[in-house]
Structures are given as structure tokens and as C-alpha cells.
Amino acid sequence: MSITKKSDDALPHVVVVGAGFAGLTVVKALAGKAVKVTVIDRENHHLFQPLLYQVASAGLSPANIAQPIRSILSKQKNAEVLMATVTGIDVANRQVLAGERSIGYDHLVVATGARHSYFGHPEWEEFAPGLKTLDDALDIRRRLLEAFEKAEVTTDALERERLMTFVVVGAGPTGVEMAGAISEIARETMASDFRTLDPNQTKVILLDAADRVLPFFDPKLSEKAKDQLESLNIQVRLGVAVQGLNADGVTTASDFIHTRTVIWAAGNSASPLVKQLPGEFDRAGRIHVTPELHLKDHPEIYVIGDTAHCVGPGGAPYPGVSPVAMQQGKKVAENILARINGDPASEFSYWDRGSMATIGRHRAVADVHVMKFGGLLAWLAWVFVHLVFLMSFKNRISVFLIWVWAYFTRQQGARLITGKRGG
Amino acid sequence: MSITKKSDDALPHVVVVGAGFAGLTVVKALAGKAVKVTVIDRENHHLFQPLLYQVASAGLSPANIAQPIRSILSKQKNAEVLMATVTGIDVANRQVLAGERSIGYDHLVVATGARHSYFGHPEWEEFAPGLKTLDDALDIRRRLLEAFEKAEVTTDALERERLMTFVVVGAGPTGVEMAGAISEIARETMASDFRTLDPNQTKVILLDAADRVLPFFDPKLSEKAKDQLESLNIQVRLGVAVQGLNADGVTTASDFIHTRTVIWAAGNSASPLVKQLPGEFDRAGRIHVTPELHLKDHPEIYVIGDTAHCVGPGGAPYPGVSPVAMQQGKKVAENILARINGDPASEFSYWDRGSMATIGRHRAVADVHVMKFGGLLAWLAWVFVHLVFLMSFKNRISVFLIWVWAYFTRQQGARLITGKRGG
């Protein structure tokens, strides 16, 4: 099919489910091409997920790290946005179902991401929220801030200990970043605000069943990150699996940790929508895709990002990180256009630019090929890279100003409790 | 009692319930004085209420107009902050009750504000939320933005009409400001973002049982405001009372307005806590106070702000606006100190600096004694006054930058849907 002017309805219809990094990259890469694109998401906004922990830890506001999908795509004439929850996929008839509505497609991209997984204990979620959406972040923020407020009021010593103990489960980047942020809120921001409570007595405990933090990083950097966490008074307990969890605390093999606030940053499981597609699934619920990123028997259905199990050159699946998602998005747009033109699809390969994780206000670790470094330099690199990648110009400037302000005043900007309160 | 150094516990204890404009002014005016102050609020933040409609209309973020009470008072050594819901007042024993806790006082200030009142129809609240707290504002924002999203999806013409019709009940400043903001979101911000929907077809209807808008303003300005509202395509229906209200629309004497979104900006009723105090109450639930702002038989209990019925020189009670609340706060601090020193308390008198209301992005009306003006000049005055009065320096700068940005780009900054979604 050649690219000539034709009415919208005659154009091939690409439906993208999910407007995270993967889905949005597909849509943007199809700008100006002779296709009609519909992107469906149940939220009205795209989220810059790497900074979500800063909303949870009251450093940033939701509007600093999220933008309406419609506004991101307002200038892209061939893209339409639908806010709806996709309830099913009719593979035989090439239809996406959203409640009573069905949307036909010629090419489908499923990029619905992952939720946290509780290793077969869904009942733990109530006591240990995970961090994937803005609402998750606002919920965690409310729990953190309320814990200090309640600790100030209580006259019961054990209750105060529970309230001032924060447990983060999972020592990947999110867990490390959350633990660092909580420790800094307590020691720097809250310390001046309380009269009877001493926020310096806050205990932050980072648990992981693995034997090191940041398992996807070079072992030397894991060691460095652990040192940096400990310098922030965070107890790092490795090789410790959670065996039980309730409103009063966390059970491990060796003890019971009294706490009212547990944050879950361990384990992902692919969005359940993908179960409706034909294929093989891995333990995390991700569907296997070909090197061209589509389903084995359905070259018109692509699955990418955290929802896809795509094997890299070493035989291991690519990790669920935003650079993989974005590069896959570009490849899918290429392959859709190739297929429309009758050309063969090409295989995905990942260009790993390195990884970074920040630990508190001016510590980080960076793993960039031959360069592996930690401390202030890594933190500055982290700030730079995140500012560059923040999608919208406006957000970038205001987030930068908020960071500069927070850096010099040691004040968090968004320490507001909103939303339904707990008991 | 002379002001000499003594231990905290020997100092007179002033308990302030409510950290709005009235309560916070009392606390700040007592800084450095020989009293111990405890301020109790069920929220952790002070809210700059005059700009709340901008959070509801997705122009500002919660953090732009709210600040943690602890952070406002962190440098005031004689003030303590408690986040708690006050459940009762034991007047005989001079105790404030908050759940299981009781806090003794020597002087009590009740400044718990007002909620909206539905004129004996509390069941209307579900369909027509009011605008008093950040959570109210985020709820209204969600309803507004979702209405457009749902209108884009629906194939039913009547349903689309319902979704694109917005009714604001009450034409005081909040109602006028909300109506103006909704009209501008639809025509300027959303117009570029939707493909199949035409947001220009949005209907905004402002209802009031009174015969003019802004009844506390000069009649000429009411006329001017009405003209400005109509120039924004807002239907202003005066002399129209709401007779019924459900999920499908609003019943008036003459017709039924099909709508899914109703915002309640009519009628206030004082916070119910005040009912526990001995005294006379007016129809809005406000308790009568003496000219010195305390209860008739209890000179140790002051009630101020929207909770108090305080008669001015003309015989009418002062209106529930922030300048009255703040000036009353100062007077109460004065009278408490006078009483401690054995001096007589003095009477409150209000210095009315004038009123302003904004209508959309560069229209407003201002009523400043001999000067009564409308249009761009009034809008610039409104912007200036609100920037000057925004409590914290940091908020002021970032709100100003957001306004400048929004003014030139016609984009709203915080168009995010968060929180529990409706059906």
C-alpha cells in the first residue's frame, strides 16, 4: 500500500492499548504516516513513572510528572485518544472491546504494563500498597504523612514504634529510591516540624529475598548502593523473605517487625488483559513474542513493554524498564509500516545505555557500560537524564525549579494529605 | 499576669480549632507571646480557599494553594500542631475532645468554618458536590474531565447533551468563578484535544434563586458581571430555584435541565461542632457572639470566621469572607492577651477593603469603595491581590509562573483525573 491521500476510513487502523512509555512511543512514531491511530487508556494521563516515588514521598505533585494524553497528542492529526477500560480482545474478528463498545483494528499493539504481584498473597495488598499509578502514589503519601501525625498524637510507646517504622519490600530501583526518600523526609523535612515527636528516631527497613540490592546492576554498584543506604540510617536486610503481613507488621523467618507502613516494591505481574491473547506465558504472566515483537501466529498483534516476554541475545528476557519499552515502541511502528508496504518485519535489539538509581537527595549509582560510579556525580547524572527525558517542556522547567528549591531549603513541596483517610 | 519566663506548662494554654484563615491568624498573632498555643485541624494543610476553584477547574495543583500547617508554623516556637478531628467540647471542664484524647484549655478559639448546605435536601450532595476542601476540588475536577471523556465515547445524542451540560447552582463569587472557568476549559483548552467531540457545544448554566449575580456587590457590578458571563456563552438564569436534583439533571419551576454535572455553590451552614457550645444560633447554624467575639456567658470561648454570627454596625451579620475571618483572628489574639493582662477586651470592627470576583481568564469585577470597575483592569487587580495574599513565598512564585504560562498558551496545567472513578 503506497502512501497517498485517502479518506481516514480507508487507512489502516492501528489500535494501541496503553499509553505508557511503550504505547505512546508507537503512537508518536506513527505521526504523519498514512495510518489512523487510536490509543486507548483507562487513565487520562501519561505518567513519567521513574519519578513516581517522588510523588509518593511528597517531593513532587502529580501534575509535575503526568500529562493528559490528549494534550501530548493534540497536534498529531492521525491520532485519536479514548479514555476507556479495555475489557476484552476478539482476536478472530480483530476487535478491541471496551464495555459495550468495540473498536476494529488492522494492527493491534498491547502495551498495558504490569501491576505488582504479591507472590500468591493478594490479601497483602491492603497492608502493603505498590507504586504504579498516581493514585498509588497519593495513597502511599497519605500513609507516610499520617504515620507521623498519628505518632505525634499517640501516648502508647509500642504504637509509636509501629508508626515510626517504615518497611520497604524489594530492593530494586523503586524500593531503593523509596527507602532513601522516606529516610530523608524524616530526617530533614519533618525534623523541624514536630514538637514532641523526634522524626530522627524513624526506622526505615529495606527487605529483599535476594542477596544484594539492585540485582540488575553490577555487583560493585550493589555494594556501593548498600553503603549509601546505610549511611542514610536505612537497615538493609538481604536474604530475608516476607512470610506474613498484616496491619500490625511483617513476619520474616527470623522475626516480626512492628510497623504500620509497608510499601511493596517487589515482584511484577503482567496486566491481566494479555491473558486473552493466544500464546505462551512466563511466570510473571508475560506473553512470549517473536523477535519482531508480535505473537507467533498473529503478525498483526504486537505486545511490548512490561507485558511482553521478549528474549534477548543472551537468552534471557529483556527487563521491564522504560528504555526497553520505548525502543520496542519504535521498532513496532517500523514493523507496522513495513508490513503495510509489503516489506519484511525486522527483529528488535536493545541498545542498553545503562542504568541509574538515586538514593536520597544527592546520592545515586550509575551503571553505564565501562563507567560504574556512585555518589554525587551519579546523582547529578541522574538529575540530568531525568530532566532531559521528562516529556513536556513545561514540566521539565517546573520540576527543575522544585528540585533546586528543595535542594537548598531541604523542604518537600507537596506534603499534602488528600484522599480518603484510613482509620 | 505579667509576661515573665516560666515553664511551658505554667503558661496560659490557647487552643485553636481550625487552621483556616481565622484560626491561623490567631495562632500567628500570638507568636512570641507568653502563651502556649495548640492548633487542631483534621487536615494537615492550610488552604488558600479563594483559589480552590482553580484546582477544581484543573488550572492549579493542590500543592499550589495549600501548605502543611506544620510547615507554616515550624518557626513559631510557642505553637504546637495536632492533626485530629475534634469530636466534642466540654465547656464545664474546659476540655476539647478528639476521639480518646482530651486537651485542656484556658482560652478556646473555634474557627471550624462552614460546609455547603442543601436547604434541607442532604440527598442532593451526591449529585451536586460543593467546593470547600482539596478533596472536594479534586472530586469536581474528576467529574468535569470525565464528562468530556465520556461524551467523546458515547453514541447516544441525549447522553452526550447531558454530559456536555454543566450546571452551577449559586451565583456568588464561587459560582461565578466556577462557571467562567468551565466555559474557558471547554472553549480554549479542550477544543484542540478532541477529534469527534466539539467542546464548543458545551452548555454552562448558572442558576440562582436571587435576582442578580454577586448579591454582595454593587448592583451595577452585578450587571457588569452578568454581561461578562454571557460573553463567555454562559446562560445566567436568575430567580430560578432548584426544586429537585438527581443523576440525570436538575428540576426547576419551569423545566428539567438534562445534565450529569452539577456543582453546588449555594448556601453555607456552619460546622456542626459549634452546636455543642451554649448560645443562640442563626438559620445558617452560626452561633451568636458578642462584639468582642466571645460567647455571651463564656469570655474564654471565642468563635470567629464562617462559624460565627457577629453583628456589624448596620445590624447585619458580617459576611463569611476571608478578610472578615482574618481581621477577627487578629482581634481575638488581642483580646486573649488583654484578658491575660487583666485589661478589658475590645470590640471588633471590620475594615472593608472591597470585594473582587474573577470571571474567566481576563475578566473580573472589583468593588473597592468609590471605585467600581470591571474587565481587564479588575482582573489584573484580582491577580495582584491574590498573589500578594498567597501565604508562602514559594507558592506565590510558582502559581504566578503557572498563570503566565496558562495565559500565553491557553493550556491548563493540571488536567489530571485522580481518585476513585464514578460509574
- The residue type found at A301 is I
**Backbone angles phi and psi of B236, in degrees to 5:** -100, 115
pLDDT score recorded for residue A1: 37
> Does residue B305 surpass a pLDDT of 60?
yes
Among A64, A83, A415, the residue with its CB nearest the CB of B149 is: A83
> What value does the mean pLDDT of chain A take?
88
> Does residue A422 surpass a pLDDT of 50?
no
Q: How far apart are CA B403 and CA B388, in angstroms?
A: 14
Cross-chain Cβ contact B418/A134 below 8 Å: yes
Helices (H) and strands (E) in chain B, counts: 11, 25
The predicted model gives B154-167 an average pLDDT of 94
The predicted model gives A25-52 an average pLDDT of 94
pLDDT score recorded for residue B368: 73
Could you confirm whether domain A122-266 is CATH 3.50.50.100?
yes
Query: Quick one: closest CA in A to B196, which residue?
Result: A80
What is B131-184 written as a DSSP string? Answer: -SSHHHHHHHHHHHHHHHHHHHH---HHHHHHHTEEEEE--SHHHHHHHHHHHH
B interface mutation test: which of A55, A72, A417, A420 has the most B CBs within 10 A? A417
Among B70, B138, B414, the residue with its CB nearest the CB of A193 is: B70
Residue in A62, A92, A72, A86 with CA at minimum distance from that of residue A31: A72
> Does residue A234 surpass a pLDDT of 80?
yes
For residue B35, the distance in angstroms to the closest alpha carbon of chain A comes to 16
pLDDT digits over B373-382, tens only? Answer: 777 777 777 7
Number of A/B CB contacts below 8 angstroms equals 112
For residue B76, the distance in angstroms to the closest alpha carbon of chain A comes to 10
- The residue type found at B299 is P
pLDDT score recorded for residue B71: 86
Q: Which residue has the cell 499550589?
A: B64
pLDDT score recorded for residue B198: 85
Cross-chain Cβ contact A419/B135 below 8 Å: yes
Largest CA distance in chain B: 75
Q: Lowest-pLDDT range, A72-86, B15-29, B186-200, B310-324?
A: B186-200
pLDDT score recorded for residue A140: 94
Among B45, B80, B418, the residue with its CB nearest the CB of A195 is: B80
The predicted model gives A201-217 an average pLDDT of 93
Structural domain spans, chain A = 8-116+269-340, 122-266
Cross-chain Cβ contact A83/B45 below 8 Å: no
> Does residue A368 surpass a pLDDT of 80?
no
Query: Quick one: closest CA in A to B55, which residue?
Result: A63
Q: How far apart are CA B388 and CA B379, in angstroms?
A: 14
Q: Lowest-pLDDT range, A45-49, A399-403, A405-409, B162-166?
A: A405-409
Question: CA distances (Å), A410 to each of A10, A178, A185, A192, A404, in order?
Answer: 57, 17, 9, 10, 10
Contacts of A138 in chain B (CB under 8 A): 418
pLDDT score recorded for residue A3: 39
The predicted model gives A193-218 an average pLDDT of 90
Query: Quick one: closest CA in A to B58, which residue?
Result: A63
| Burial bucket for residue B319 (CB in 10 Å: 0-12, 13-18, 19+) | middle
Among A149, A195, A394, the residue with its CB nearest the CB of B405 is: A394
Residue in B111, B165, B101, B181 with CA at minimum distance from that of residue B328: B111
pLDDT score recorded for residue A184: 87
B interface mutation test: which of A36, A43, A148, A195 has the most B CBs within 10 A? A195
**pLDDT confidence band for B24 (50 / 70 / 90):** very high
B interface mutation test: which of A70, A132, A395, A403 has the most B CBs within 10 A? A70
**ipTM, 2 decimals?**
0.79
In chain A, % of residues over pLDDT 70: 90
Cross-chain Cβ contact A44/B417 below 8 Å: yes
Among A64, A135, A413, the residue with its CB nearest the CB of B418 is: A135
Cross-chain Cβ contact B153/A411 below 8 Å: no
Among A44, A61, A145, the residue with its CB nearest the CB of B63 is: A61
> Does residue A2 surpass a pLDDT of 50?
no
The predicted model gives A211-221 an average pLDDT of 90
pLDDT score recorded for residue B4: 43
* CATH code linked to domain B8-42+84-116+269-340: 3.50.50.60
> Does residue B81 surpass a pLDDT of 90?
yes
The catalytic residue among B123, B126, B177, B347 is B177
Question: Does A122-266 match A8-116+269-340 at the fold level?
Answer: yes
For residue B119, the distance in angstroms to the closest alpha carbon of chain A comes to 26
Q: Containing H/E element for B409?
A: helix B393-409
pLDDT digits over A321-344, tens only? Answer: 888 999 999 999 999 999 999 999
CATH of A8-116+269-340, one of 3.30.379.10, 3.40.50.510, 3.50.50.60, 3.40.220.10: 3.50.50.60
- The residue type found at B354 is G
Cross-chain Cβ contact A138/B394 below 8 Å: no
For residue A175, the distance in angstroms to the closest alpha carbon of chain B comes to 23
Active-site positions of A read 177
Q: Which residues of B touch A (CB under 8 A)?
A: 43-45, 61-64, 66, 68, 70-71, 74, 80-84, 101, 134-135, 138, 145-146, 149, 152-153, 192-196, 394, 398, 401-402, 405, 411, 413-420
Contacts of A46 in chain B (CB under 8 A): none
C-alpha cell at B243: 426544586
For residue B235, the distance in angstroms to the closest alpha carbon of chain A comes to 28
> What value does the mean pLDDT of chain B take?
88
Cross-chain Cβ contact A135/B394 below 8 Å: no
Q: Do the beta carbons of residue B364 and residue B378 sit within 8 Å?
A: yes
Radius of gyration of chain B (CA): 22
For residue B50, the distance in angstroms to the closest alpha carbon of chain A comes to 18
The predicted model gives B35-55 an average pLDDT of 92
Cross-chain Cβ contact B43/A193 below 8 Å: no
C-alpha cell at A333: 511502528
Contacts of B394 in chain A (CB under 8 A): 405, 411, 413
Cross-chain Cβ contact B193/A414 below 8 Å: no
pLDDT score recorded for residue B1: 37
In chain B, % of residues over pLDDT 90: 64
Radius of gyration of chain A (CA): 22
Among B63, B153, B413, the residue with its CB nearest the CB of A414 is: B63
